[in-house]
Structures are given as C-alpha cells and as structure tokens.
Amino acid sequence: MHAIFLVVRIVDENSSAIDTVRDVISGLEDLVKTVGFREPRIGLSCTVGIGDRVWNKLVGSRKPAELHPFREIKGAKHTAVSTPGDLLFHIRADREDLGFEFERLLLQSLGDAVVVEDEVTGFRYFDSRDLLGFVDGTANPIGPDLADSAIVGSEDPDFAGGSYLVVQKYLHDLDAWQKLRTSEQEEIIGRTKSDNIELDDAAAPDQKSHKTLATIEDDDGEHDIVRDNMPFGRPGRGEFGTYFIGYGRALWVIEKMLERMFIGEPEGKHDRILDFSTPKTGSTYFVLTQPMLADLGD
Ligand code: HEM
C-alpha cells in the first residue's frame, strides 16, 4: 500500500481558480475511474478534504459545525504548528505508479489554480510499523465502530456522512530514538515492540504513554478516531518521518488528543514521542460525501 498526501493552496479565492477547483473536485470520482480502471486490482482511491479558508467560496453552504483552521498548540517544550492548506488529497493505491499517475493528472487539471504546499509519498513498512519500529494503527476502530468514530451523524444533518480530517507531517530523530533501550521506547508508546501487546497504564505513572494520552474518555465512554498514518523518508538525506492522518466524527476529539500530547496531562508531562518527532505541518479539513462532492459541479 502506498499513499500520497498532497496539500495545496488555492491561488486566489476570488478568481476563476475557485471554479476550476470546484470542477475538478466534483469530478474526482471520474478521474479515479479513469486511472483505476486500467488496474482494477490495485485499489486506487482518493479523498479530498476542504479547508475552512475556502469553504464558503468553494462549497457555498454553511460550514460543518466544528470546522475551523488548525489551531497551533504550544506546550512548554513542543509546538503543534499550523501551516497553510486549502485542500488535502489523500490518494491510496497498492502500487506507487497508480498513485503517481492519478496525482499527475489531478495536478494537470488543477493547473495554475493551486500551488502545492506539501507533497509526501508514504509506504507500508513491514507489518504496518512506523519508522520508530512500532506497529501503528492497531487500536483503530473496526466494524460498526469505525463509522461511529469517523463519520458525522445526525448531530449535524447537513453534513451527515462526512468527516473531519487533520494531518501533520512529523520528522523523527531516529539516531536519538535508537539510543533508547527497547523497554524505554515501549514505555513511551505504551505497547511492546515485538509482539505489540498493550502495556498497563500503571506502568508509566509519572509521564503517560502515547497510547494513554491519545485515549479520550468521558461520561459518554471512549471517543475514537480513524488513523491511516504512513511512514515516509529518504535515508540518503537523513529524512525519516510519519505522516499522521486522522479522520474523526468530531474535531474536538482530535484536538483533545493533540492537547494532551503537546501540553501534557497533567500539564507539563507531554507525550515523549515528541522528544523524537517534530511536526513540520498541521492543517484541518472536512471531507464531504461523494454525492455532496459531485453536486458541487451543478
Ligand atoms: C509521530 C507521530 C505518531 C506516531 C509515530 C504514532 C504512533 C502510534 C503507535 C505506534 C500507536 C500504538 C498502536 C496503535 O494503536 O495504533 C499509536 C496509537 C494511537 N495514536 Fe499515535 N502516533 C503519532 C501521532 C499521533 C497523533 C498526532 C494522534 C492524534 C492527534 C495520535 C493518536 C493515536 C491514537 C488515538 C492511538 C490509539 C490509542 C488507544 O486507544 O490505544 N497519534 N500511535
């Protein structure tokens, strides 16, 4: 499995650029078919998230209840930066050439209506491990819980079926990480490294693990999100990264996770994954359902 994360900015939100973009994204499914039909078994897909800044011009309707730009979160030691992005394309395929071809045609049709802010190609690494060496994605909801965690429901009827989307591009200090003992790494993540067993929260009473900080619980129970993180990198340039991508039914849940990671819980006790991982980007979007997206073209 490969994924391309393409973040673009619309050049001038008052000009014909908006019309061009609206045309292209309303026909996204046709473009997926055009490329995907040539290799049906490769499972090409693309979702597009639309950012707050261009929402009114591009979509025209009122905004999804919680949509706003990514808010920087400044902890004592680490900052979740907010960076520009009007559209995020999440392109997935089992083979890199299909994703490449799709992205090429997509950018060709967008032309000079957009500028590319960021472009990352990620890959599945062994048994779904991140470059820190841990299996990533295990606690993702499955079955009926998946839609319940990622898809807006009757709480915002105009946007039911859609999803909030947050992305961050992290770069790792792999040398420093590899100097830790495996047991220290496991305490930071909250799972064992080789067989991926969850550690008891009590194992890290002082500074909570990533797993614990990213678990949001209240009187309504646990609030999950759906993650599809991908490793990326260029060893020759010392670049080793994780592209974080989270889909949520509620934006506050993803923001709460980020707050607990960067500010810490209790305050000051941040997620130590951040001592080895620096976010270089951060942006927020809303993903419309396919029929809503197609309707934009009318
Ligand atoms: C450097 C970036 C990150 C890396 C390498 C990373 C890696 C991991 C790993 C290895 C796990 C344990 C296995 C699993 O359940 O998937 C995990 C769990 C999790 N992560 Fe991350 N993560 C990163 C950033 C984030 C961010 C930014 C968020 C949220 C805003 C997040 C949310 C979660 C959640 C919700 C869980 C599951 C917790 C549970 O219920 O057990 N992660 N992550």
> Does the Cβ of 283 fall within 6 Å of ligand 1?
no
Query: What count of residues does the chain have?
Result: 298
**Model confidence pLDDT, tens digit, residues 49-95:** 999 999 999 998 799 999 999 999 999 999 999 999 999 999 999 99
Give the pair of three-digit tokens for residue 174: 């792999």
Domain locations along the chain: 2-295
Q: What is the mean pLDDT of residues 182-194?
A: 96
pLDDT band at residue 131, thresholds of 50, 70 and 90? very high
Residue 274 burial by Cβ neighbours in a 10 Å radius (0-12, 13-18, 19+): buried
Question: Which atom of ligand 1 is closest in space to residue 211's alpha carbon?
Answer: 38
Atom of ligand 1 nearest to the CA of 225: 35
CB 49, CB 28: distance < 8 Å = no
pLDDT higher than threshold 70 for residue 205:
no
Atom of ligand 1 nearest to the CA of 80: 27
Compute, in angstroms, the gap from residue 186 CA to the centroid of ligand 1.
Answer: 13
Rounded Cα distance between 154 and 172, Å, is 39
Is 258 near ligand 1, meaning CB less than 6 Å away? yes
Joined tokens for residue 141: 């909801």
By most ligand atoms within 8 Å of CB, the mutation choice from 167, 244, 274 for ligand 1 is 244
For the chain, state the CA radius of gyration.
Answer: 19
pLDDT digits (tens, 9 = 90+) for 27-43: 999 999 999 998 888 89
Residues 6+ apart with CB under 8 A from 143: none
Mean pLDDT (the chain) is: 96
User: Can you tell me the distance from the alpha carbon of 260 to that of 289, in angstroms, rounded to the nearest whole number?
Assistant: 30
pLDDT in tens, 155-186: 999 999 999 999 999 999 999 999 999 999 99
Beta carbons of 262 and 75 less than 8 angstroms apart: yes
Sign of CA dihedral 127, 229, 5, 273: negative
CA distance 163 to 265: 27
The single residue of 86, 136, 224, 271 carrying the catalytic annotation is: 136
Helix, strand, coil % (nearest 5) of the chain?
Answer: 35, 25, 40
Mean pLDDT throughout 203-223?
91
Q: Residue 213 — very low, low, confident or very high, per pLDDT cuts 50/70/90?
A: very high
Phi, psi of 295 (to 5 degrees): -65, -25
Does the beta carbon of 288 lie inside 6 Å of ligand 1? no
CA of 212 to the centre of ligand 1 (A): 9
Please tell me the number of Cα atoms within 13 Å of 245 on its side-chain side.
Answer: 25
- In this prediction the pTM is 0.97
> Is 200 one of the annotated active-site residues of the chain?
no
Does ligand 1 come within 6 angstroms of the Cβ of 273?
Answer: yes
Q: Measured from the CA of 254, which atom of ligand 1 is nearest? A: 30
Cα distance between residue 270 and residue 212, in whole Å: 11
Tokens read off for 82: 């907010």
